[in-house]
Every structure is written in C-alpha cells, then in structure tokens.
Amino acid sequence: MPHVLLIARRAVGHLGYVSAVRVVSVDGVHSVQQWPPVETQPPQVHPKAPEQGAELTSHYSECFGCGEDQPGGLHMSSTIGAGHVVHSSFTVSAEHQGAPGLAHGGLLSCAFDEALGTVVGQLLRKPAVTGKLETDFRRPVPVGSTLHITAELDGTAGRKVYASARGHLGAPDGPVAVEARALFVVVDLEHFTEHGDQDALKKLRDSAREPERTDRWDINP
Ligand SMILES: CCCCCCCC(=O)SCCNC(=O)CCNC(=O)[C@H](O)C(C)(C)COP(=O)(O)OP(=O)(O)OC[C@H]1O[C@@H](n2cnc3c(N)ncnc32)[C@H](O)[C@@H]1OP(=O)(O)O
C-alpha cells in the first residue's frame, strides 16, 4: 500500500508560526491535512527546562510509560534533543504483544502518548493532558526491537499544545514504523486534585521537595 508523507513547514508572517501541510496518498486516494490544524504560536520553552543532552527521570514513579516502580509499564527513557525535541526509546517485550511476536498497536500508541507528553511537559513545564492522539502504524514492530521516538513541539494556541512524533525501528535513523500527532490541553492543578488519587498526589508532592526531585511536581502532578 503506497504511502507518501510530505511535511512542509513555513513561517506565516507575523500572524502565526507553524503551518505544516501533511499530504497522504493511500492507493491513489489523496487527502490533505494541515498540521497543526489551527494557527499556532511558536512554543515558548520554559527557562528552567532541562538542557540539550539531559537524560530525563520519570515524572511519576508509577507512570505506566516511564515509572520505575511500575512493573508492567513501558519503562521508557528520554533525553532532551536540540530545539523543541525529546528523544525517547521503547523496547518491545513479550508483554506488549498483539499478534504473535508483534507489538500491540494500543501499546505503541501509549508509548507515543508518553513521548509526546514528555516533550510537552518537560519543555513547557506546564501540567497538560492529552486531548487527542492520532497514530499511523506504518510497519510492524517486532518483540525485542527498540523504537527510537523523536517527539517535537509544533506550536501552541492558548491552552492547546500541538506535538508530533516519529518512531524509527531499531536505530535513530532506522525506518519509520509509527508516527503520531497529539493535542495536549494545559490544565489547572485542580484537574489532578479533583479527579486523581489524593494519597498518591501527596506522596508525589512530598517527594518533589527532595532537592534532586524538584523536576517532578510542576510537570504533571
Ligand atoms: C511528562 C508527562 C507524560 C505523560 C503522558 C501521558 C499523558 C496522558 O495520557 S494524560 C491522560 C489522558 N487524558 C485525559 O485524561 C484528559 C481527559 N480530558 C479532559 O480532562 C478534558 O476533556 C480536557 C482537559 C482535555 C479539556 O477540557 P477543558 O479543560 O474543559 O477544556 P475545553 O474547553 O473542553 O478544551 C480546550 C480546548 O481544546 C480543544 N479540545 C479539547 N479536546 C479536544 C479534542 N479531543 N479534539 C480537538 N480539540 C479538543 C477544545 O475545542 C478547546 O479549544 P478552544 O480553546 O479553541 O475552544
């Protein structure tokens, strides 16, 4: 099935910043999508965002995506890249199978949610949650392989943050197996205090007081 993906990025004068046009051709049927779907402003990286090359620690030890205390989790690791980019890696294990020997698509979407959430949270340092996540599965991802995911901030529009990511199979320059785009929405702390687990939030808040853990609380409590 032929897929053609073309991403063109341009500055739109003083009105806005990013306009990426995504052209997809599937079996001769063409559809043109603009990404981000609305006019956006350039992402404002927080002055306290980790510097390029910084290896990120988990924002919450029980997070399914990156938590070290989550035995069934994805145990993803991430590093800050150049510009508005975070590099993450995810190794597919037998627990992540859908078909025999192949990663489950939902698990792969989860890995992208994590990678995209990481670029948003770590670079903007505002609590934000996924509002919409769209994933294109382009190649099967076998058990034992590692996906090298590059996630990038594409722009902001008020509380809306747009980010996209590509997952390369086996190596950072390997073939693209999965792509994803997401809308994150910046939320107040009440989002977590009203709907989340109060005890776990208190534990997280307390651990954020430890000097080496000050990175945790302001990202995604
Ligand atoms: C470092 C961290 C890594 C973590 C990675 C993992 C991240 C996650 O998985 S978070 C968990 C999954 N997500 C959630 O549980 C979110 C559940 N949803 C919600 O709480 C709410 O719907 C929420 C907060 C997204 C939006 O609600 P609310 O705050 O009332 O804002 P609302 O006015 O509806 O939306 C804000 C804007 O976003 C737009 N928007 C919201 N959802 C969507 C959507 N699905 N599609 C398109 N636009 C949307 C709205 O149209 C609105 O746009 P505008 O400002 O132009 O009017």
pLDDT by residue for the chain (221 residues), tens only, comes to: 444 343 444 444 344 454 455 544 444 555 567 999 999 999 999 999 999 999 998 988 899 999 999 998 999 999 999 988 999 999 999 999 999 999 999 999 999 999 999 999 999 999 999 999 999 999 999 999 999 999 999 999 999 999 999 999 999 999 999 999 999 999 998 898 889 988 888 887 777 665 555 455 465 54
- 16: in domain: no
Q: Taking a C-beta distance cutoff of 8 angstroms, is the pair 127, 161 a contact?
A: no
Best mutation site among 185, 197, 220 for ligand 1, i.e. most ligand atoms within 8 A of its Cβ?
185
Q: How far apart, in Å, are the Cα atoms of 193 and each of 122, 201, 205? A: 21, 8, 12
Containing structural domain, residue 204: 45-213
Nearest-angstrom CA–CA distance, 167 and 219: 23
Nearest-angstrom CA–CA distance, 88 and 199: 29
Neighbours of 160 (CB within 10 A): 18
- 180: in domain: yes
Question: In this predicted complex, what is the ipTM?
Answer: 0.98
| Cα angle for residues 192, 59, 163 (degrees, 5° grid) | 85
- 208: in domain: yes
- 200: in domain: yes
- 39: in domain: no
- 17: in domain: no
Nearest-angstrom CA–CA distance, 108 and 137: 9
- 155: in domain: yes
Taking the CA atoms of residue 36, residue 37, residue 42 and residue 45 in that order, the dihedral angle to the nearest 10 degrees is: -60
- 88: in domain: yes
Residue 52: half-sphere exposure toward Cβ, Cα within 13 Å: 5
Query: CATH no. for residue 60?
Result: 3.10.129.10
Pocket of ligand 1 (CB under 6 A): 59, 65, 113-114, 117-118, 121, 129-132, 158-160, 183, 185, 187, 219-220
Q: How many domains does the chain have?
A: 1
